Amino acid sequence: MLSKNNLVYSQRDMRTLAIGDIHGCLEPLKNLWKTIDPKPEDRIIFMGDYVDRGPECKGVIDYLIELQRQDLNITFLSGNHEEKFFLSEMDLTDRDHWLRVWGGPETLDSYGPGGFDDIPASHWEFLRKCRPYLETDSHIFVHANLEHDVPIDQQLPFTIIHKKFGEPKPHMSGKVMVCGHTAQKSHVPANLGHAICIDTDVGRGGYLTCLHVETGEYWQTNFDGDLRQDKI
């Protein structure tokens, strides 16, 4: 093993970092990113739900697109709020529901007075390319949940992006599921051993969480600029 001075890293230096639902909260995201200070050898997974509720949805997407251009190993998952955003652009009935219930006004306001007309094509392209899940040797990263007795590549889209966390059974693969989607009102991650939920409700007064998957350590930031660190 060579030293860090030679820019070669051992396996133990590589981190898998999962970041929970952002919901238009740009400042907590920036503060969290600065705190974790990702390196090219790290693997970063964003768990989806980038838009709605928070005041800077456009800014969040701009920021994520900029991160995508850097020399980093980043996977962006898609959440149910991205799905609803797409549907609302195409269908007025979905749009009305999105605006009344889902936090859509904050998303549109962040783009300017033109509403959907002001959304850049690059943002739609970014969201369109977000993945449904990421599977590694030991974990499955997914926005919402999994059916325990269904292989990952056969999961229904509804399960992957809509099903609440609840008390999921261990997945048949034996791998640990890491997800977001179900806001933890305690503002700390839920850890069942075989399943971990890291949506800690930053869009409604909670925290944005980043989990170091290998160690269980996590960092959290909020709109007040608070930073806290703990272990699941």
Domain limits, the chain: 13-231
Catalytic residue, candidates 23, 81, 143, 181 = 81
Three-state SS at 147: coil
Whether pTM > 0.85 for this model: the answer is: yes
Contacts 24+ apart (CB under 8 A), 130-133: 130/48, 130/76, 130/77, 130/78, 130/82, 131/75, 131/76, 131/77, 131/78, 132/77, 132/78, 132/157, 132/160, 132/161, 133/77, 133/160
What are the phi and psi torsion angles at 59 (to 5°)? -60, -35
Q: Are 176 and 195 in contact (CB under 8 A)?
A: yes
Is 23 catalytic? The answer is no
Name the residue among 70, 85, 167 with its Cα closest to residue 124: 85
Compute CA 209 distance to the chain's CA centroid, rounded to the nearest angstrom. Answer: 9
Q: In the prediction, which pLDDT does 10 show?
A: 37
Strands of the sheet with 73-76, listed across from one edge: 73-76, 43-46, 16-19, 208-212, 217-221, 227-231
CATH fold of 13-231, please? Answer: Purple Acid Phosphatase; chain A, domain 2 (3.60.21)
Cβ neighbours for 11, distance < 8 A, ≥ 6 positions apart: none
Tens-level pLDDT at each residue, the chain (232 residues)? 223 333 333 344 799 999 999 999 999 999 999 999 999 999 999 999 999 999 999 999 999 999 999 999 999 999 999 999 999 998 888 899 999 999 999 999 999 999 899 999 999 999 999 999 999 999 999 999 999 999 999 999 999 999 999 999 999 999 999 999 999 999 999 999 999 999 999 999 999 999 999 999 999 999 999 999 999 9
Task: For residue 61, count CB atoms less than 10 angstroms from its CB and return exposed for 0-12, middle for 13-18, buried for 19 or more.
Answer: buried
Q: In the prediction, which pLDDT does 1 show?
A: 29
Tokens of 181: 């989607």
Tokens of 161: 């992006």
* Residue 182 identity (one-letter amino acid): T
Q: In the prediction, which pLDDT does 6 show?
A: 32
The bridge status of strand 208-212 relative to strand 16-19 is antiparallel
Q: Are 25 and 202 in contact (CB under 8 A)?
A: yes
The H-or-E segment that residue 74 falls in is strand 73-76
The H-or-E segment that residue 126 falls in is helix 121-128
